[in-house]
Structure 1
């Protein structure tokens, strides 16, 4: 993929205020950025929430994580150009995205993680795993990574793979095991001992 100078509305799947942006990679408008950061790598953020992240928002604040350096930054919804087309996300930004814990994740100082989440580039490069404390965090991590990453893997505390997805297709566990898990979850229990 060639390096972009900047992202424009043509690089977005959606623009405007009608779409939700939480859990998506967003593109910021160049005029919103400080002069020294007006390039493509500094336009990309992962939106974690805020009143401005809803469709046709009443509030304006959005809470984001920079995909250039991992910094947490508050922006206004009016600073957002749109949602980036997933195929345009550069590898360096994918690696930063893979390190973000889901919104609402439990504090690691008070909760022991049960799983690690990993995301891989097509050439199998990846960064350190992300601690996930429960099954909800696992599902949220998969949801936030699946549109952007080549491969997503979840491992238990013993480093055994309990879930793997490549190009959006689940390859482990089997369909039968996933269906049993969904049924158990609907009945009130959740156990990822797949």
Structure 2
């Protein structure tokens, strides 16, 4: 069910200039609830105690990019309040800093699922780090997240924030090996 009333500061986990909004779902002061939810990509107004006012956003209604002022941002939305339609739109956003698909070959696809099994098409991810960043970006909002390789085999899966595949031990071995410049997800 979609929300009928406007989101306010009471619907936010953090407000004000003392919090970073980059990589977060934010609430804007708008005239309708449908036009209030955005994902913050970056901008000199996105950090803690920002040096500027510009924030680059993606609408969680239309998927279109927007340039807004930090003063228009009420705060960071509490994850449990994000409507399903916005979760599906959020699942289509590549992580901040993702490589340009015109110049790099994707290695993975990222999928996010609602509790009823609905999902949108996969998102191309070029590196292991992008796959991990996608997972971290989606984790607070999505019921289930799956990362698949180019052959569409699942290489990473979380449900309700819990790692399902691979095991915690295998994931820790991957993290340590990737810090040393070895290992890829398979």
Q: What TM-score results when the alignment is normalised by the length of structure 2?
A: 0.97
Query: Which of 33, 39, 43 in structure 2 is aligned with 1:40?
Result: 33
Match of 2:89 in 1: 96
Alignment of 1:30-69 (within 5 A): 30=30, 38-69=31-62
Query: Which of 134, 155, 163 in structure 2 is aligned with 1:162?
Result: 155
Match of 1:34 in 2: none
Shift of 1:190: 4.2
Query: Which of 154, 172, 181 in structure 2 is aligned with 1:179?
Result: 172
Which secondary structure state, in structure 1, belongs to the residue aligned with residue 85 of structure 2? helix
Shifted more, 74-83 versus 103-112: the winner is 103-112
Residue by residue over 1:99-156, the C-alpha shift from the partner in whole angstroms, topping out at 9 and shown as x without a partner, is 0011111111211100000000000100000000111110111111000000000000
Q: Is the counterpart of residue 113 in structure 1 residue 106 in structure 2? A: yes
Shift of 1:41: 1.4
Which secondary structure state, in structure 2, belongs to the residue aligned with residue 108 of structure 1? coil
Q: Structure 1 residues 2, 62: closer, same or farther in 2, change over 3 A?
A: closer
Match of 1:23 in 2: 23
**Separation (CA, whole Å) in 1 of partners of 2:175 and 2:139:** 19
**Separation (CA, whole Å) in 2 of partners of 1:82 and 1:58:** 17
Q: 8 Å contact 1:135–1:190 — kept in the other structure?
A: no
Query: Which of 130, 135, 138 in structure 1 is aligned with 2:128?
Result: 135
Which secondary structure state, in structure 1, belongs to the residue aligned with residue 109 of structure 2? strand
Shift of 1:62: 0.6
Gapped regions of structure 1 (runs ≥ 5): 31-37
Shift of 1:179: 1.3
Q: What TM-score results when the alignment is normalised by the length of structure 1?
A: 0.93
**Separation (CA, whole Å) in 1 of partners of 2:70 and 2:121:** 31
Match of 2:74 in 1: 81
Q: Structure 1 residues 190, 79: closer, same or farther in 2, change over 3 A?
A: farther
Gapped regions of structure 2 (runs ≥ 5): none
Match of 1:35 in 2: none
Which secondary structure state, in structure 2, belongs to the residue aligned with residue 82 of structure 1? strand
Q: Structure 1 residues 77, 138: closer, same or farther in 2, change over 3 A?
A: same
**Separation (CA, whole Å) in 2 of partners of 1:128 and 1:25:** 20
Greater helix fraction, Structure 1 or Structure 2: 1
